[in-house]
Amino acid sequence: MVKLTGADKFVAVLNRLPFLGRFIVSFFPEWRRRRVEDAVYLGKIQGLLAAINGEAEKLRSLSDEQLRDRTVEFRRRLREGFSSRIAPHLDELRERLRLVGKPDSDAVELVAKVSRGEVDHLVRRTLKELEDGKAFLNRVKAIEQELLDELLVEAFATVKEACRRHVGQSWESAGSEVRWDMVPFDVQLAGAAELHHGAVVEMATGEGKTLVALFPLYLNALLGWGVHLVTVNDYLSRRDSQWMGRILEYLGLTVGCIDLSNPGTPERRAAYQCDVTYGTNNEFGFDYLRDNMAHHRDASVQRGHHFAIIDEVDSILIDEARTPLIISGPVDRSTHQYDRLKPLVSELVRKQNALISEIATEAQRLLDEGRDAEAGEKLMFLMKGAPKHPRAVKLFQEPRNKKLMTDALNRWTIDKRFPELDDILHFIIDEKGHTIDLTERGRVAISPNNPEMFVLIDLVDEIARIDAAEPDPARKAALKEEARRRHEERSEELHNISQLLRAYMLYEKDVEYVVQDNKVIIVDEYTGRLMHGRRWSDGLHQAVEAKEGVKIERETQTLATITIQNYFRMYGKLAGMTGTAETEAGEFDHIYKMRVQRVPTNRPVQRQDLDDVIYKTKREKYNAIIEEIEWIHSHGMPVLVGTTSVEDSETLARMLRRGKVSCNVLNAKQHQREAEIIRGAGQRGAITIATNMAGRGTDIKLGPDVIRCEKRTDYAGPRCPTCPWRQAGDTVDDDLPPCGLHVIGSARHESRRIDRQLRGRSGRQGDPGASQFFLSFEDELLRLFMSERAVNMVLRLGKIEEGEEIRSGLITRQIGKAQSKVEAVNFDRRKKTLEYDDVMNRQREVIYSRRAQALFASTEECRSIVLDTCAEVVESAFLSEYGGNGDSERADVAGFIEWIQRTVASADFSGLLRESAQQVWYDHEKKTAGDELLVEVMRRIGEAYDKKVQLLESFGPGMALRFTQFVVLQTIDTDWRDHLLAMDELRQGIGLRGYAQVNPLHEYQKEAFNAFEELLTNINREIFERWFRMQIAVGPPPPPAGQAPVRAAVPRAPGGVPASPMLARAIAQR
């Protein structure tokens, strides 16, 4: 328990008061507020912890066999408990099945499964599709949660005892031998309980989050529906599945890891069938998309989304949430013009850089002459024209220059003078918005002899002009097609120029990307890892490839996509753990409905977090970092240097090696050695330079002699000034660094979480250590977001000499505020992405549900699928196309029946055609064609269906089912792919609607709804037509050996034309 002082108790009393008390508490130091919160939390959960520990003591007397038998007993109690509690609701389920017309045999089987507690993912899918089915499913989930809560103490105690019995044992994990030495502390049990209840648990680095997850995994896996442990990389999933999996397997559960097998294989499917499945977030998401592209059941590997625990939850649900998961395929033809346009754009960039050099020279002259207002305008031109240009960066090292630029910017805004920039610069850069606008001067420079190059024709006006001027229909169609082609080419050309400018001016090699094996590979801005297989969208990746002179990959088209947010929101229960979550508590609650709970450390944190040190230039900052590293290294302490880019890490490494100091570098180029490098980062004298990846999920354990004096009563040497074990009378050496791992940050990240993660690499489990950030005014965060107040404060310090450091609490707080602003902007971007994807997600659910219905259908269910689709198409066509809605005095029954006859050629509708001439189907009283016609048409279509099924079955048992699945799935997939392309194009241009004073999101929702309605209509129509028109022709049997092979059977349309080679392959596979 945490002991509280008198001041702590006073804070605790204030915390219980309404607004005023909490307002007063905000003035107390953060460390005191946290200590009070920890004490209050542990006091609330003490009863549960005592119960678990007491139950674990009782289990010590059991044999191994008896301990394992408890798993069987728990599962029996869960089944019986569920059956008894769901029984009163089964009549309601039967009624809902009756209302949707579920066949009696299927309904009885479904109710029987629910009554036995066998509510697997297929049953849950059926329940979700019922009227008010989600309410019933929520009742099922509530009962399951109640039963698990009642079992929590016994289950957690069982796992704790299993951990105790394995102490001292060794086994292999991810290629290395591990020795088990972990029995959970009380705070770990508290974190486990929070995970079970669906919280985001914040636990400091080294507190054993991997072990904490073991408890809720075991408890929730007892239901038998599979639970998932999601990691950030495949090394961790493989390591944890073998490390923690030993305990779960000892207790009788099965454990799988999807990263040990290839997608779509039986091994991957078997991993998902295990009680507990480990894997990376990308593989879980892509498996879901691949399952919904599968054309036969065996290719589908997942079995629902019951419960998931996400390790490093902030990295996955926050940092990676802006990038959707996309499965893509090549487009039919390439339309980009990057090869042709690259010389023009590179020349324009050269001209702009030369112009910026001239402006920088002029700005320096004006500054030297004291003409501040004119110099401020020149500085503003630098900021708008090339903010990363070396001359510009050097001028902005002086805070006074930045203030002059801001003043000029404000004057131009007030005077509305920004159009003048068109005659000064070739293009204007908005570095914060990540956009570039070509000016009139730039357009003339690119195309001096063709002013029409940047004029986009108004396609609507052009088509209207052609309609009015050209009488010949054939020539009219040709002119329209030519206008569309010219519009498309010009649009593509302008888009390519824009993306090339962004590639040259905003995307830096070894910062945003690296070039390896003649390919451009994105570097994750948060982790520093290479993102193999990921590509920037909208042609940007191709523009960067053109810039670097590597092979320009062909454009791709989206086949399936989902955002990280919407994938994980499918889980019935979701939990997560990380060392940094508090700053994102609002986003976790808003997007995922997950609360954040900070769990206290087992031992007090001894790490010393020192104030930031700020220098004028990057060069001075780097020199200071090197001096600090060499000083710490000379005393034998390990150092971990965190950088924000590959370039920075390699620069610092070169500087150290020039001074004959060896170091390990961990960045996107050396990520294969990550675990090995991190394991040695805590050894005496080790120096590790890492990007923000810094081995998340891997503990840095301190080596021998790194801690000089902890628990050593015989230690008589000098101690450092901040030593937590210093006693009265001990000798203090001011030149002695603290014990433990020293973390040095070379820059602040946009997100406070990333900075806290870096600090958290030091000081694990009560170890000593220190952390400090070294900054410069050239750092991107300070350059873009430092407030005017902070700039004025620096100016009051007077002229800053070279190498002089600034330590200011005000600037540190201003940096924190800047980070908060950037976090808010990034949250808005993620929220906007989600708002647009929510529209697609609702459509995706409908499409994927329909696919699953066909994929897992029986022969009887396939009949319902096809005939229900036919009925919908027939009725819709009759009402909307043939006047059956009563708007005309007489429906075109003859035309309607002729269309049906052409589609269903095997049925005879000639009798209906004769009767239609006598108006047999016309109701004179209601002025409409009668429903009897549609009933009779569907009866004959049903007969034609049954005849074709008999024909298909003559080719082999189950052929009708496979044929129907192919037609339905192929139609859905083709139309859905085209729909995704249309939605991508709509999404890219919808923002322009804002200029018309309308909400782009509302416009997108409206147009997406209309497009989806059209999609469903097209899918139904095509399924109807293809099912009846497509036929199968079987060739002669295979020839004896030595003879020429005979062509295999292929599907054929009437007239003998092959309908689809894909169907032949699909039937052959099955």
Are 350 and 385 within one domain?
yes
* pLDDT per position as a tens digit, 191-244: 999 999 999 999 988 888 999 999 999 999 999 999 999 998 888 899 999 999
The C-alpha atoms of residue 921 and residue 932 are separated, in whole angstroms, by: 7
> For residue range 880-933, what is the model confidence (pLDDT) as tens digits?
877 666 544 566 777 888 888 888 888 887 776 655 544 545 444 444 445 677
Quick one: pLDDT at residue 106?
67
Q: Tell me the one-letter amino acid at 718.
A: P
Least-confidence region, from 218-232, 529-543, 786-800: 786-800
* Residues in a beta bridge with 200: 576, 596
- pLDDT band, very low/low/confident/very high, at 1070 (cuts 50, 70, 90): very low
- Listed in sequence order, the DSSP H helices in 372-433 are 372-385, 390-395, 399-415
Query: Does 962 map to a domain?
Result: yes
Range of the domain at 30: 6-60
Specify the pTM.
0.81
Nearest 5°: phi and psi at 1029? -85, -30
- Mean pLDDT score, 997-1006: 88
pLDDT-derived band at 573 (thresholds 50, 70, 90) equals very high
Three-state SS for 470-486 is CCCHHHHHHHHHHHHHH
End residue of a domain, out of 474, 506, 538: 506
Contact in structure between 201 and 599 (CB atoms under 8 Å)? yes
Question: What SS3 class is residue 688?
Answer: strand
Q: Please check whether residues 296 and 437 belong to one and the same domain.
A: no
What's the token pair of residue 1042? 């030595």
Single-letter residue type at 347 = E
Q: What is the pLDDT of residue 758?
A: 86
**639: alpha, beta or left, given left = phi > 0 and alpha = psi -120 to 50?**
beta
Residue 257 · residue 271 · CB < 8 Å: yes
| CA pair distance 922, 918, nearest whole angstrom | 9
- CA 749 – CA 819 distance, rounded (Å): 8
User: Which residues have CB under 8 Å from 3's CB, separation 6+?
Assistant: 39
In a domain, 1047, yes or no: no
Same domain? For 284 and 302 the reply is yes
Q: Decide if 103 is inside a domain.
A: no
Decide if 79 is inside a domain: no
Same domain, 429 and 291: no
- Does residue 87 register a pLDDT over 70? yes
Tell me whether residue 610 is in a domain. yes
pLDDT score, position 100: 66
Residue 893 shares a structural domain with residue 999: yes
- 953 located within any domain: yes
Max mean pLDDT range (238-247, 312-321, 597-606): 238-247
Total domains present in the chain: 6
What lies within 8 Å, CB to CB, of 870 at 6+ separation is: 938, 941, 945, 1024
pLDDT digits (tens, 9 = 90+) for 292-302: 999 888 889 99
What percent of the chain has a predicted confidence (pLDDT) above 70?
A: 83
Q: Mean pLDDT over residues 610-635, rounded?
A: 89
Is 74 part of a structural domain of the chain?
no
Nearest to 148 by CA among 217, 223, 201: 223
> Which of 941, 937, 934 has its CA nearest to residue 1027?
941
Q: How far, in Å, CA of 690 to CA of 700, rounded? A: 13
CA atoms within 13 A on the CB side of 1068: 11
Query: What does the pLDDT read at residue 1050?
Result: 38
789 and 640 in one domain? yes
The answer to whether position 846 is within a domain reads: no
Q: Give the distance, in angstroms, between the CA of residue 626 and the centroid of all CA atoms in the same chain.
A: 37
- Per-residue pLDDT at 1058 exceeds 50: no
Residue 519 shares a structural domain with residue 593 = no
What's the N-to-C CA distance of the chain in angstroms?
63
CATH number at residue 219: 3.40.50.300
Nearest to 882, CA basis, from 929, 925, 914, 918: 929
Confidence check: pLDDT of 63 > 90: yes
Do 429 and 529 have their domain in common? no
How far from 187 is each of 8, 36, 154, 607, 757, CA to CA, in Å?
Answer: 21, 16, 18, 20, 20
Residues 590 and 622 in one domain: no
Domain limit, last residue, from 22, 38, 60: 60
Across the range 444-465, mean pLDDT stands at: 80
* Higher local confidence (pLDDT), 166 or 791: 166
**Same domain, yes or no: 586 and 620:** no
Pair (621, 738) in one structural domain: yes
What are the backbone dihedrals phi and psi of residue 606, each rounded to the nearest 5 degrees, phi first? -105, 0
Domain match, 281 and 398 both: no
Which tens digit of pLDDT belongs to each residue from 173-188?
888 888 999 999 999 9
